[in-house]
């Protein structure tokens, strides 16, 4: 089973850009959907968006104007950028693999998660 590991700053200032990377090991990112999901006390689990290995993306409409997900197949990584962050973006951020049983899927492998705090 693949393993996923998030990395990036744990503290981001308000109005700046949150940037995280997910490194996939034990398998290729090709042929799968790769997701970002966040969890906060206030909003529970919230799907942010996905990228398919071909580069196509879908985002949660509530975040679409601020989110960019990209992938680097040569490094077996995919990344999240969230612009103009506020305290409401403070959360544990997870990367997760789509189950692959359909274009729309569950999440069958997850990273351990990384806490990102938005504060000056």
Partner 1 sequence: DIVMTQSPDSLAVSLGERATINCKSSQSVLNSSNNKNYLAWYLQKPGQPPRLLIYWASTRESGVPDRFSGSGSGTDFTLTISSLQAEDVAVYYCQQYYSTLPYTFGQGTKLEIK
The residues binding partner 1 (CB under 8 A) are 44-47, 58, 60-62, 94, 96, 99, 101-108, 110-113
CB of 63 to partner 1, least distance (A): 9
Q: Which is nearer to partner 1, 28 or 104 (CB)?
A: 104
Q: 1 and 26 in contact (C-beta within 8 Å)? A: yes
Host H or E run for residue 11: strand 11-12
CB of 23 to partner 1, least distance (A): 15
Nearest to 57 by CA among 89, 79, 25, 83: 79
Nearest to 108 by CA among 100, 116, 99: 99
DSSP states of 62-119 as a string? Answer: TTTTTEEEEEETTTTEEEEEE-S--GGG-EEEEEEEE--SSSS--EEEE---EEEEE-
Q: Which is nearer to partner 1, 73 or 106 (CB)?
A: 106
Q: Which is nearer to partner 1, 16 or 46 (CB)?
A: 46
CB of 22 to partner 1, least distance (A): 12
CB of 32 to partner 1, least distance (A): 14
Q: Which is nearer to partner 1, 12 or 38 (CB)?
A: 38
């Amino acid at each position: 089973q693949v393993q996923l590991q998030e990395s990036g700053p744990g503290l981001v200032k308000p109005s700046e850009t949150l940037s995280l990377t997910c490194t996939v090991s034990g398998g290729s990112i090709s042929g799968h959907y790769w997701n970002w999901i966040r969890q906060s006390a206030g909003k529970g689990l919230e799907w942010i968006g996905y990228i398919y290995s071909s580069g196509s993306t879908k985002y949660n409409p509530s975040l679409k104007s601020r989110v960019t997900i990209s992938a680097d197949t040569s490094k077996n990584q995919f990344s999240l950028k969230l612009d103009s962050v506020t305290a409401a973006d403070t959360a544990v951020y997870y990367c997760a693999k789509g189950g692959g049983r359909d274009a729309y899927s569950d999440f069958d492998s997850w990273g351990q998660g990384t806490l990102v705090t938005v504060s000056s």
